[in-house]
Amino acid sequence: MNQNKEPVAYFRLLEYESTFMDAAIDLILEETGFKINPGTKVLVKPNLVSARNPLACTHPNVTISLCRYLLDCGAIVTVGDSPSYGTAAQVSKAIGMTSGLAELGITPITLGRPVPLKLSFGKSIGISRDALETDMIINVPKLKAHCQFLVTGAVKNLFGTVVGFRKALAHTRFGETKGLMEKLVLEVAAKMPVAFNLMDAIYPMHVTGPISGKPFAMSLLAGSPNAYALDTAIYMLLGLSPKKVLLWKEISNQKIRGYDPDHIKYVIEPPDDFDTTDFQLPEILSPMEFEVVRLVKGRVKSLFNRIS
């Protein structure tokens, strides 16, 4: 019965206070069966999308508490992401994470060293060797409304392992063809050595996103070894269906383990304990493709940020 189901842990946290965060992460990892050996090289991959709005990023205390847990287990920990524009260090500093990581001896890195990933539809995209060559990735997404994908969580956060501006370029190259961006996101995610997913949904972003939405008090820290099951659990919590969430539809079409709510067992707290009635999602989605002018402007801005 439940033995073959994917564990998804829901834990209620009202705020990001570090003492409670440490205890919550410890319990979530224990209850979902996560194990790690001393000496394991771990890439902790938060969402560091933009320095403009801390709400758009994984909260620093989630990442810092997770790193503290891993270091206590004897892991070798790196924190990294690949923002489309700017560097991970710049975003980390802007959201107030750098000093907390420094106390643990960690400096955030921008995921780089691109290597081509051949895609099923005959193209390729540059993904980070830094992500591929670690022993395991712990994915630390921020739950957000999204103007193109409707809502994003664990699986979409792994798209951040595509190096730099190549993410925006992918929207320009593939966004016009229906369903291609969803396939691309899933093929990147499948390539990554993900061992666990810890989602910051304490104050997720709603109304719109991924950068300029508003905070919603959901009070949820969620985790699972299976990114697809974790996202499915969140979609269900929000009262959504694969018809509404195109990424979930593609996951369902491919029958990736975790797409079906029947694949999930909930541990710690039941989903009924969390009220998402007032969580707002975009009514009309923007096209997947980016205009070339926007891409060029963003690339220039990125280069300026790296040398400034």
Q: What is the DSSP string of 18-31?
A: HHHHHHHHHHHHHH
Any bridge partners for residue 127, and if so which?
115, 162
User: Structure tokens of 40?
Assistant: 């394991």
Give the separation between CA 24 and CA 252, rounded to whole angstroms: 31
Per-residue pLDDT tens digits of the chain, which is 308 residues long: 456 899 999 999 999 998 899 999 999 999 999 999 999 999 999 999 999 999 999 999 999 999 999 999 999 999 999 998 889 999 999 999 999 999 999 999 999 999 999 999 999 999 999 999 999 999 999 999 999 999 999 999 999 999 999 999 999 998 899 999 999 999 999 999 999 999 999 999 999 999 999 999 999 999 999 999 999 999 999 999 999 999 999 999 999 999 999 999 999 999 999 999 999 999 999 998 865 444 444 443 443 344 33
Show me where the domains of the chain are located: 8-299
Give the separation between CA 281 and CA 294, rounded to whole angstroms: 24
Q: Residue 271's closest CA among 228, 219, 226, 225?
A: 219
Place of tokens 């921008």: 110
Give the separation between CA 37 and CA 31, rounded to whole angstroms: 17
- All residues at 6 or more sequence positions from 306 whose CB lies less than 8 Å from its CB, including other chains: 86, 87
- All residues at 6 or more sequence positions from 167 whose CB lies less than 8 Å from its CB, including other chains: 82, 84, 159, 160
Inter-residue contact 137 to 194 (CB < 8 Å): yes
Any bridge partners for residue 216, and if so which?
none
**CATH fold for the domain made of 8-299:** Rossmann fold (3.40.50)
Place of tokens 């820290």: 221
